[in-house]
């Protein structure tokens, strides 16, 4: 498995991956084309020998970065791909001048919360009813350093 920067030609792959990971809210190919053209931040693809397996997209703002989406195909989960996407991201972000990395995660998403906690993220806020009437978002942050 490798993690690499996505390019414009990967827009259809990213749309298919995102749709498979988040069938309730897929981001269409047009979104990915714009994101890859505008270049608001790194977009990473995890690939196995024959197929894409995971993705991560980030937006940069001043010295802060925010994970917009991260996901791994259901059949490929719990094999280290989510962690590999994050660990590939940190040095890219520090090289781009980011000192803090933020993300939102559902209060009910235990798998993702465990991953983020083990990667050094901590809770800095909560957005009430963000994902629905009974589903808050936890706002998590991780300090980035050149050594990260």
Q: Under the rule (CB under 6 A), what is the footprint of ligand COA?
A: 21, 70-72, 77-83, 103, 105, 109-112, 114-115, 118
Rounded to a whole number of angstroms, the minimum distance from the CB of residue 8 to ligand COA is 24
The total number of residues shown for the chain amounts to 148
Burial zone of 113 (CB within 10 Å; 0-12 exposed, 13-18 middle, 19+ buried): middle
Residues 6+ positions from 8 with CB-CB distance below 8 Å: 33, 36, 37
What is the token pair recorded at 111? 């798998």
Q: How far is the CB of 87 from ligand COA (least distance, A)?
A: 9
Alpha-carbon distance of 72 to 74, in angstroms, equals 6
Residue nearer to ligand COA on the CB measure, 80 or 97: 80
- Do residues 46 and 53 lie in contact, with contact meaning Cβ atoms separated by under 8 Å? yes
| In the complex, minimum distance from the CB of residue 109 to ligand COA, in angstroms, rounded to a whole number | 5
Using Cβ positions, the residue closest to ligand COA within the complex turns out to be 82
Q: 37 or 47: whose CB is closer to ligand COA?
A: 47
Nearer CB in complex with ligand COA: 1/8: 1
Smallest distance, Å, CB 75 to ligand COA?
10
Of 9 and 50, nearer to ligand COA (C-beta) is 50
Using alpha carbons, select from 93, 81, 92 the residue that is nearest to residue 52: 81
């Amino acid at each position: 498995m490798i993690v690499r920067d996505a390019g414009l030609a990967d827009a259809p792959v990213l749309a298919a991956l995102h749709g498979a990971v988040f069938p309730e809210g897929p981001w269409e190919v047009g979104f990915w084309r714009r994101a890859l053209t505008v270049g608001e931040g790194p977009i990473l693809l995890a690939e196995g020998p024959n197929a894409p397996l995971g993705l991560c997209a980030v937006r940069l703002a001043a010295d802060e970065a925010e994970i917009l989406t991260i996901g791994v195909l259901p059949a490929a989960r719990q094999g280290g791909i989510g962690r590999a996407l994050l660990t590939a991201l940190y040095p890219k972000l520090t090289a781009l001048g980011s000192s803090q990395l933020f993300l939102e995660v559902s209060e009910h998403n235990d798998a993702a919360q465990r991953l983020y906690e083990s990667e050094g993220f901590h809770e800095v806020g909560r957005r009430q009813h963000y994902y629905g009437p009974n589903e808050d978002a936890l706002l998590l942050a991780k300090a980035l350093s050149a050594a990260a």
